Chain A
Amino acid sequence: MAGTAGGIARTEAATHAYQGRTATRDPRAVRWLLLAIGLGFFLVFLLLPVVIVFTEALRKGWSAYVAALIEPDALSAIRLTLLTALVAVPANLLFGIAAAWAIAKHDFRGKHLLVTLIDLPFSVSPVVAGLIFVLLFGAQGWLGPWLQAHDLKIVFAVPGIVLATVFITFPFVARELIPLMQAQGRDEEEAATVLGASGLRTFWHVTLPNIKWGLLYGVILCNARAMGEFGAVSVVSGHIRGETNTLPLHVEILYNEYHFAAAFAVASLLALLALATLALKQLLAWRATSNGTPA
């Protein structure tokens, strides 16, 4: 994501010899103080929020927990969340590959601007991201009258949710691939085309094997965000129970109706998704380093 600086395999080489050398050793008191502050901050701000999701979810016992997950509205929210990710992730995967190929393997004017624009969703508020689609497709929007005349519904319906999710998640794959493909250069692809391989064949047999872990990593991040997006989807959804509720929106509704245990039960599904995402990310970082492909 913005800030991970594109590195899936952070150099594990970070030698931990610092404390063994006089020049780079911090005084013992400083070391303990910094560790206490850093880990205390980590504990309060990161660990406790995850732990409380699960304890609150199980507060009323396992049967209430399971009941909250298999009631019809929850199931329809799960279905809609899966459907949204199933459309948004492949679409953004194709976009990410196309963008990375154009940007990393070619030189052209305005490249820097294009890379900056791809980062747009990271700095645009999710609420604004939702609003733009209401302004375009809503009843009062530009295309609203035309859509109504043809009996089409985008906003406050599933297409709007998918569109808003696509907007929020389009940078993820591209951002992983661009630095990775830039770092790998163009020699191998140029050799393949000189030997007569077509563009697609070159990509499939030469580029893809080199970028597969980074690609998978981008897809996982994209998927996590697509399933978890709240603000943008909330604006375009209309909150119709059983129809336009995704999992995060279902959490909100349950919470606002004071069904706290049920809200946390559904939230725990999303928290598990987040933890699984981090675990997979770690696994991929380990794969990438052990394969010797710098990422």
Chain B
Amino acid sequence: MLPGFRSTLGITLLYLSLVALIPLAAVFLKSAGHGWDAFWTAATAPRVMASYRLTFGASFAAAAINLAFGFILAWCLVRYEFPGRKLVDALVDLPFAMPTAVAGIALTALYARDGWVGRWLEPLGVKVAFTPLGVLVALVFIGLPFVVRTVQPVLENLETELEEAAASLGADRWSTFRRVLLPMLLPALLTGFALAFARAIGEYGSVIFIAGNIPLVSEITPLLIVAKLEQYDYVGATAIAAVLLACSFVLLFAINGLQAWSARHNGLEGGL
């Protein structure tokens, strides 16, 4: 038994409670304090419902896009040699390191009508900036590293023997991928998807600049919390926050379960 257990655990629990648990409990207690009717009215108003649809829909779509493209990118980084591979590998973490406000204004400038990307989409009749599509673009950006970084280590640790065995038994490359590789990578892929999804639901900074924030059309749920707060509507803000927070908790435990499954599945060190 090593020393310092009681004191370090004590510090940890005290800090966690003061900084996170007690303040978070305040949201639930506050929203419960206003009564069920007030909560329900505030949490299901039409403008709020529209924001749930956009937030959850765009987050799901963004996570799905990242699942596909993130997997391809991770595959390229692990399996192929190409010039600049190390640079690409290092820059994948950029959305983690880049402040969200910076990402927000950069994406808006890119996808505006006269922007570098926007001007190519304009003739096609595709408007990205200040539409729900803009929300999707921002959520793809901030979720990008999650799938790459969860799949990449698993891909690196795969035994090539399995693929060789499949090939020697006569499987072509596609069926090896589908029947051998994909099942092994599935837990990591799902974990990356869930992480990107969870992050996207709460995202605020990178979205609000490009979304245009049109009521009932391109307002995300976190933005509505801010809007209610600015109107001193604490009941409304707290009710919406309680809904988001409940989703966060569900996702947190789901992700934890997924990570544990993924770790067991791949025989990697657990407990992350």
Contact = CB atoms under 8 A, between A and B. Distances in A.
Interface of A: 1-7, 10-11, 13-14, 16, 18-19, 21-27, 30-31, 34-35, 37-39, 41-42, 44-50, 52-53, 56, 94-95, 97-99, 101-103, 105-106, 108, 112, 114-128, 131-136, 140, 142, 163, 166-167, 170, 178-179, 182-183, 186, 189-190, 193, 198-200, 202-203, 221, 224, 227-231, 234-235, 247-249, 251-252, 255, 260, 263-264, 267, 270-271, 273-275, 277-279, 281-282
B225 interface: yes
Nearest to B238: A135
Contact of B192 (A3, A42, A49, A271): A3
A115 B252 CA distance: 11
B146 A3 contact: yes
A49 B106 CA distance: 5
Contacts of A21: 160, 164
B122 interface: no
A186 B2 contact: yes
B268 to A, nearest CB: 8
Contact of B72 (A34, A102, A122, A128): A34
5 contacts: A21-B164, A30-B173, A106-B5, A182-B269, A273-B99
Interface string B51-84: 0000000000000000001001101111111100
Interface of B: 1-5, 7-9, 11-13, 15-16, 19-24, 26-27, 30, 69, 72-73, 75-82, 88, 90-103, 105-107, 109-110, 115-117, 140-141, 144-146, 149-150, 152-153, 156-157, 160, 163-164, 166-168, 173, 192, 195, 198-199, 201-205, 209, 222-223, 225-226, 229, 232, 234, 237-238, 241, 244-245, 248-249, 251-253, 255-256, 269, 271-272
Given A199-B4, A229-B99, A231-B204, A183 B269 contact: yes
Given A46-B92, A128-B202, A199-B4, A5 B73 contact: no
B102 A95 contact: no
A25 B172 CA distance: 11
A98 B13 CA distance: 10
A203 B4 contact: yes
A123 B8 contact: no
Given A45-B140, A101-B8, A267-B101, A3 B205 contact: no
Contacts, number: 346
Given A1-B96, A24-B164, A135 B27 contact: yes
Contact of A26 (B26, B110, B168, B173): B173
B110 A49 contact: yes
Given A35-B82, A135-B30, 20 more contacts: A4-B149, A11-B156, A25-B173, A26-B173, A38-B69, A42-B73, A52-B110, A53-B105, A53-B106, A116-B253, A125-B241, A128-B222, A200-B4, A202-B3, A230-B100, A231-B222, A260-B109, A267-B102, A275-B94, A278-B94
B48 to A, nearest CB: 14
Contacts of A251: 99, 101-102, 105
A7 B95 contact: no
Determine the main DSSP class of A at the interface with B: helix
A199 B2 contact: yes
Nearest to B98: A274
Contact of A270 (B24, B98, B153): B98
Contacts of A279: 90
A127 B222 contact: yes
Contacts of A252: 101
Nearest to B106: A49
Contacts of A282: 90
**Quick one: which of B93, B209, B226, B237 has the most chain A CB within 10 A?**
B93
A46 B256 CA distance: 28
A282 to B, nearest CB: 5
Given A132-B27, A230-B204, A2 B146 contact: yes
A118 B16 contact: yes
Contacts of B106: 49-50, 52-53, 56, 267
A50 B255 CA distance: 30
Contact of B269 (A44, A179, A231, A247): A179
